[in-house]
């Protein structure tokens, strides 16, 4: 921050030097405060003297904060002729900024004066004050945490005084200790200290915005003394002292010379150099003992040791840990059990070639390091021992023995001695064999080997596995001994790789003999078939194609096929597929289109993955000319059949046929079902019956060809016919049909009767005509068709005038006078036969 302020001042000085002579001493900036709290407002004023040659009535002062133009609040001329402009920055959010007062000079903006603005925070209270008495530098060093950055130049001072009590009263002042810039620690020299007298110590922080002090610390310099760590050395062998036991280390140390007069206690810690073990701490060591034997360590293991010390029975601080001392523990004789296995080959009647294998099994956590193995006919510690058969660092050995030899001795050794001898007895094969031997792959890197335990139960098993043929005969094999004779299988995970054939051998071991070895071959993961079968086209038709293929012979190490999948695609890139079992050798593609191109390929799949075979392109046969003719004929027959069905439909339903008028069948329908519905929009006007130009119709006679015998439901009584003949029914129409008539309500009990009518009146009479309806039961039509309801005869009932005309009944007849056009048959005649009836 100090460097940045110096640079800004230098830049301002350079700008002033570059100003024209006429503008020198023209302007001056005054600040309300040179340093403010970050975010607070600040006010500045710029005054231009009256002797400035560039000052005129149109002069305008411009403010700039760094490179940004700032609007001034007001500009005014003072009584003494000077021009003054004031600016207020409401929030100064920069820790340092350069404010410039400018005036237009020609076409450029000239700086008259500049002022540096500073903003920050008051100093925070220093905390975590602690002090240590360093006997090396013979000074009291105190350190603290200064707190957050204030963005201002802050000075720290370490203050202290001497006191007789609990630092409540001051006796002698101690000169202030001022740290270097940026440092948060300071040391008070020994000449200003009383080592066994209380001192009050605190830190003061001060900047332009305020001052803060830390809490006072009251201490005695010697109570906070920190000693230097001791120096560790290995204790060498001595004739008077026995060598260390296995797992023990002997060391000594030297304390720091300036602290020889101080009673001390020390701590020791150790850690193995190899591995990621943590440090183990050993308790306080005797203060005056400068050597120590550390036991309980791992034999033949390198360790790193460190030590630290502090004042004994008095307050003080622990020293730093000393530099590490690296030592190695002594070895111990191996404590292991040997699992052994062998192979024998008869060289001649007197000599046997033996290949012995072994695996050391530690009996303890600290079983000792093994440097080699010895194979002999007698233990090595017996007098007159035979020469060694093998002395090797490997886990196998090959040697020759006489045919009568049945045992050898195996030992592990190191510099501390040999392990307990392990006798190796060459057992004869005479025990019962295993049951069914089988394997199963758990994953690509393991194999499960199972068997049926024989009877009697063995004491253990030996399992061997290695690469099977065609691997070289001398390739190494793995082996394992299982000491639990009741198990029925084991998982092999060592040296198992996918896509490799392994030969696995299991041999049962009994107390004094062994059983015959059994072999099995297995893969942990098989490969996919090397290639798929070749696809051939056997027969092809217009809509089908027969495909065939020859299955591939099984390959060693290849997973057997589980199914086939056939894919075929047409010219429109539509794909089809089907799945077949592994025993299928042919397939017929059906539903193909004639004269079409298809692409076919076969995929052979196994449990590992799938392999595609060769692709095949085929084209189906085209249709022949005779087949085209047959198809066209069938299509023509289909069209003819559709036409016949349509004609039949038209004939069976003539009402809906628009080619001829709809004539109802009176014997099988009622008038209400075939009388056209007349709406207001469809009402048509007939010529008036009173028109003199039209000949009036005075009588309509309807004759039947022959007399119809009444049915069992008809009445033979003709008394209700009002004197009208049964075969001849006359109707006389007079009057204007547009005159409104009154429609009486039908009487109950006449739903099964057909009404007959006699029309009364004269065509030349002034009164409108009437008709007489009789209650005759003689049927008019062939069926029991009821008369339409009153709302079904809308055309006859509606009158443009809307005024009904009353009827006068004849008391001499038992018939009732009703309006003429209420009769349904006349309505039908009027509507359907209007062309022939003229004015009717």
Give DSSP secondary structure letters for 805-831: ------TTSSSEEE-GGG-HHHHHHHH
Residue 21 has pLDDT above 80, yes or no: no
Residues 549 and 533: beta-carbon distance below 8 Å: yes
Q: How many CB atoms within 10 Å of residue 199? A: 23
The residue among 128 and 556 whose pLDDT is bigger is 128
Most confident of 47-61, 754-768, 799-813: 47-61
Backbone angles phi, psi at 303, to 5 degrees: -130, 150
Residue 757 has pLDDT above 50, yes or no: no
| Mean pLDDT value across residues 328-342 | 89
Residue 802 has pLDDT above 60, yes or no: no
Q: 660 falls in which pLDDT band (50, 70, 90)?
A: low
Q: 141 falls in which pLDDT band (50, 70, 90)?
A: very high
Q: 666 falls in which pLDDT band (50, 70, 90)?
A: low
* Angstrom distances, CA of residue 352 to CA of 355, 402, 628: 10, 6, 91
22-120 CATH pick, 3.20.20.80, 2.60.40.10, 2.40.50.140, 3.50.50.60: 2.60.40.10
Which pLDDT score, from 0 to 100, does residue 729 have?
A: 39
Which pLDDT score, from 0 to 100, does residue 697 have?
A: 46
Burial class (CB in 10 A: 0-12, 13-18, 19+), 54: middle
Which pLDDT score, from 0 to 100, does residue 621 have?
A: 87
* Angstrom distances, CA of residue 476 to CA of 206, 492, 816, 819: 81, 16, 133, 129
What 3 state SS string does 681-704 have?
CCCCCCCCCCCCCCCCCCCEEEEC
Alpha-carbon distance of 429 to 487, in angstroms, equals 21
| Mean pLDDT value across residues 705-719 | 41
The answer as to CATH 1.10.730.10 being correct for domain 336-425 is: no
Give 518's strand partners: 506
CATH fold group of domain 231-328:
Immunoglobulin-like (2.60.40)
Q: 678 falls in which pLDDT band (50, 70, 90)?
A: very low
Retrieve residue 80's tokens: 């003494």
Give 586's strand partners: 548
Q: 791 falls in which pLDDT band (50, 70, 90)?
A: very low
Residue 619 has pLDDT above 60, yes or no: yes
What is the average pLDDT score of the chain? 76
Q: How much of the chain, in percent, has pLDDT values that exceed 90? A: 29
Residue 463 has pLDDT above 90, yes or no: yes
Burial class (CB in 10 A: 0-12, 13-18, 19+), 631: exposed
Backbone angles phi, psi at 320, to 5 degrees: -70, 160
Nearest residue to 163 via CA among 154, 172, 174: 172
| pLDDT per residue as tens digits for the range 56-102 | 666 778 889 988 888 877 788 888 878 888 898 888 888 899 999 88
Residue 694 has pLDDT above 70, yes or no: no
Residue 720 has pLDDT above 50, yes or no: no
Nearest residue to 164 via CA among 129, 124, 194, 188: 194
Which pLDDT score, from 0 to 100, does residue 56 have?
A: 62
Which pLDDT score, from 0 to 100, does residue 135 have?
A: 84
What 3 state SS string does 104-155 have?
EECCEEEEEEEEEEEEECCCCCCEEEEEEEECCCCEEEEEEECCCCCCCCCE
Retrieve residue 97's tokens: 């900024």
Which pLDDT score, from 0 to 100, does residue 395 have?
A: 93
The residue among 745 and 364 whose pLDDT is bigger is 364
| pLDDT per residue as tens digits for the range 391-443 | 999 999 999 999 888 899 999 998 888 899 999 999 888 889 998 899 988 88
Contacts of 821 (CB under 8 A, 6+ apart): 737, 741, 793, 795, 796, 797, 827, 830
Which pLDDT score, from 0 to 100, does residue 238 have?
A: 75
Residues 193 and 172: beta-carbon distance below 8 Å: no
The residue among 749 and 301 whose pLDDT is bigger is 301
Which pLDDT score, from 0 to 100, does residue 308 have?
A: 92
Put simply, whether the predicted model's pTM sits higher than 0.75 gets the answer: no
CATH fold group of domain 435-523:
Immunoglobulin-like (2.60.40)
Residue 1 has pLDDT above 70, yes or no: no
What 3 state SS string does 257-292 have?
HHHCCCCEEEEEEEEECCCCCCCEEEEEECCCCCEE
| Mean pLDDT value across residues 750-776 | 45
Q: How much of the chain, in percent, has pLDDT values that exceed 70? A: 71
Q: In what order do the strands lie in the sheet with 96-105?
A: 35-37, 108-120, 96-105, 61-65, 68-70
Which pLDDT score, from 0 to 100, does residue 484 have?
A: 92
Residue 725 has pLDDT above 60, yes or no: no
Which pLDDT score, from 0 to 100, does residue 465 have?
A: 93
Residues 494 and 458: beta-carbon distance below 8 Å: no
Which pLDDT score, from 0 to 100, does residue 652 have?
A: 77
The residue among 694 and 487 whose pLDDT is bigger is 487
Nearest residue to 507 via CA among 571, 560, 454: 454
Contacts of 224 (CB under 8 A, 6+ apart): 131, 132, 133, 140, 315, 316, 317
Which pLDDT score, from 0 to 100, does residue 276 have?
A: 84
| Mean pLDDT value across residues 474-496 | 89
Q: 608 falls in which pLDDT band (50, 70, 90)?
A: low
| pLDDT per residue as tens digits for the range 734-749 | 444 444 444 444 444 4
Which pLDDT score, from 0 to 100, does residue 632 have?
A: 81
> In the CATH scheme, what architecture does the domain 127-226 have?
Sandwich (2.60)
Which pLDDT score, from 0 to 100, does residue 780 have?
A: 46
Expressed in angstroms, the distance from the first to the final Cα of the chain is: 124
Residue 699 has pLDDT above 50, yes or no: no
The residue among 545 and 612 whose pLDDT is bigger is 545
Backbone dihedral region for residue 409 (phi beyond 0: left; psi -120 to 50: alpha; all else: beta): beta
Nearest residue to 606 via CA among 657, 562, 646: 562
Most confident of 126-130, 770-774, 803-807: 126-130
Q: Tokens 């590992």 label which residue?
A: 608
Retrieve residue 792's tokens: 């079904």
SS3 content of the chain, % helix, strand, coil (to 5): 10, 40, 50
Most confident of 266-270, 624-628, 712-716: 266-270
CATH fold group of domain 535-620:
Immunoglobulin-like (2.60.40)
Residue 205 has pLDDT above 90, yes or no: yes
Alpha-carbon distance of 135 to 837, in angstroms, equals 150
Which pLDDT score, from 0 to 100, does residue 126 have?
A: 93
Which pLDDT score, from 0 to 100, does residue 821 have?
A: 46
Backbone dihedral region for residue 118 (phi beyond 0: left; psi -120 to 50: alpha; all else: beta): beta
Residue intervals in the chain for CATH 2.60.40.10: 22-120, 127-226, 231-328, 336-425, 435-523, 535-620
Give the total residue count for the chain: 840
Residue 785 has pLDDT above 70, yes or no: no
Residues 417 and 299: beta-carbon distance below 8 Å: no
Q: How many CB atoms within 10 Å of residue 776? A: 23
Alpha-carbon distance of 537 to 251, in angstroms, equals 91
Which pLDDT score, from 0 to 100, does residue 121 have?
A: 92
| Mean pLDDT value across residues 121-137 | 90
């Amino acid at each position: 921050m100090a460097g940045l302020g110096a640079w800004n001042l230098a830049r301002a000085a350079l700008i002033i030097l570059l100003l024209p002579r006429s503008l020198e001493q023209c302007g001056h900036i005054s600040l309300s405060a040179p340093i403010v709290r970050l975010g607070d407002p600040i006010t500045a004023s710029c005054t231009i003297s009256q002797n400035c040659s560039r000052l005129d009535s149109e002069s305008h002062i411009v403010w700039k904060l760094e490179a940004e133009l700032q609007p001034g609040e007001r500009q005014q001329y003072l009584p003494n002729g000077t021009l003054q402009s004031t600016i207020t920055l409401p929030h100064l959010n920069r820790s340092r900024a350069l404010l410039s007062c400018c005036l237009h000079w020609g076409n450029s903006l000239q700086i008259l004066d500049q002022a540096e603005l500073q903003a920050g925070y008051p100093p925070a209270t220093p905390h975590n004050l602690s002090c240590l008495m360093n006997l090396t530098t013979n000074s009291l060093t105190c350190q603290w945490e200064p707190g957050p950055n204030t963005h201002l130049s802050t000075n720290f001072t370490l203050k202290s005084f001497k006191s007789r009590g609990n630092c409540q009263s001051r006796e002698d002042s101690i000169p202030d200790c001022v740290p270097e810039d940026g440092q948060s620690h300071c040391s008070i020299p020994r000449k200003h200290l009383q080592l066994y007298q209380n001192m009050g110590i605190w830190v003061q922080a001060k900047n332009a915005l305020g001052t803060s002090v830390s809490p006072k610390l009251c201490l005695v310099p010697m109570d906070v003394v920190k000693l230097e760590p001791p120096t560790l050395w290995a204790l060498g062998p001595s004739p008077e002292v026995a060598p260390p036991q296995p797992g023990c280390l002997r060391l000594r140390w030297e304390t720091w010379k300036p602290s020889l007069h101080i009673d001390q206690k020390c701590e020791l810690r150790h850690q193995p150099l190899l591995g990621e073990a943590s440090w183990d701490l050993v308790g306080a060591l005797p203060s005056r003992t400068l050597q120590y034997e550390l036991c309980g360590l791992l034999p033949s293991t390198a360790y790193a040791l460190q030590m630290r010390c502090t004042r004994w029975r008095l307050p003080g601080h622990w020293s730093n840990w000393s530099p590490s001392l690296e030592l190695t523990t002594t070895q111990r004789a191996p404590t292991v059990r040997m699992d052994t296995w062998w192979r024998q080959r008869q060289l001649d009647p007197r000599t046997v070639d033996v290949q012995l294998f072994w695996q050391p099994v530690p009996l303890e956590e600290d079983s000792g390091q093994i440097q080699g193995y010895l194979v002999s006919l007698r233990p090595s510690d017996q007098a007159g021992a035979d020469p060694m058969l093998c002395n090797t660092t490997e886990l196998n050995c090959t040697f020759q023995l006489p045919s009568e030899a049945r045992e050898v001795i195996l030992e592990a050794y190191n510099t501390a001695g040999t392990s307990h001898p392990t006798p190796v007895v060459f057992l004869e094969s005479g025990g019962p064999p295993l049951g069914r031997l089988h394997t199963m792959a758990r994953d690509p890197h393991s194999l499960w080997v199972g068997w049926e335990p024989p009877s009697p139960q063995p004491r253990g098993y030996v399992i061997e596995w290695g690469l099977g043929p065609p691997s070289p005969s001398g390739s190494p094999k793995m082996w394992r001994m299982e000491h639990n004779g009741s198990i029925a299988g084991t998982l092999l995970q060592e040296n198992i790789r996918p896509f490799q054939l392994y030969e696995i051998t299991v041999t049962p071991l009994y107390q004094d003999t062994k059983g015959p070895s059994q072999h099995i071959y297995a893969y942990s993961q098989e490969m996919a078939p090397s290639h798929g079968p070749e696809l051939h086209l056997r027969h092809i038709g217009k809509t089908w194609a027969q495909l065939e293929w020859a299955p591939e012979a099984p390959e060693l190490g290849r997973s057997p096929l589980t199914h086939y999948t056939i894919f075929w695609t047409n010219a429109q890139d539509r794909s089809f597929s089907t799945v077949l079992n592994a025993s299928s050798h042919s397939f017929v593609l059906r539903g193909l289109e004639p004269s079409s191109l298809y692409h076919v390929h076969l995929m052979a799949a196994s449990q590992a993955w799938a392999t595609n075979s060769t692709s095949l392109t085929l084209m189906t046969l085209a249709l022949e000319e005779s087949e085209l003719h047959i198809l066209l004929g069938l299509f023509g027959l289909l069209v003819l059949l559709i036409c016949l069905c349509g004609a039949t439909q038209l004939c069976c339903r003539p009402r809906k046929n628009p080619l001829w008028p709809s004539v109802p069948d009176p014997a099988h329908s009622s008038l209400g079902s075939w009388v056209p519905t007349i709406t207001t929009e469809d009402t048509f006007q007939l010529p008036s019956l009173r028109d003199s130009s039209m000949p009036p119709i005075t009588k309509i006679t309807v004759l039947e060809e022959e007399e119809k015998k009444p049915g069992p439901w008809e009445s033979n009584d003709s008394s209700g016919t009002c004197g009208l003949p049964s075969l001849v029914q006359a109707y006389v129409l007079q009057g204007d049909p547009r005159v409104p008539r009154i429609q009486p309500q039908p009487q109950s009990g006449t739903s099964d009767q057909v009404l007959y009518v006699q029309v009364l009146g004269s065509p030349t009479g002034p009164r409108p005509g009437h008709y007489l309806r009789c209650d005759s039961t003689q049927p008019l039509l062939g069926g029991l068709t009821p008369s339409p309801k009153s709302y079904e005869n809308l055309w006859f009932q509606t009158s443009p005038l809307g005024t009904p005309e009353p009827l006068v009944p004849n008391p001499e007849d038992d018939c009732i006078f009703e309006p003429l056009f209420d009769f349904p048959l006349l309505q039908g005649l009027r509507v359907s036969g209007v062309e022939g009836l003229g004015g009717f």
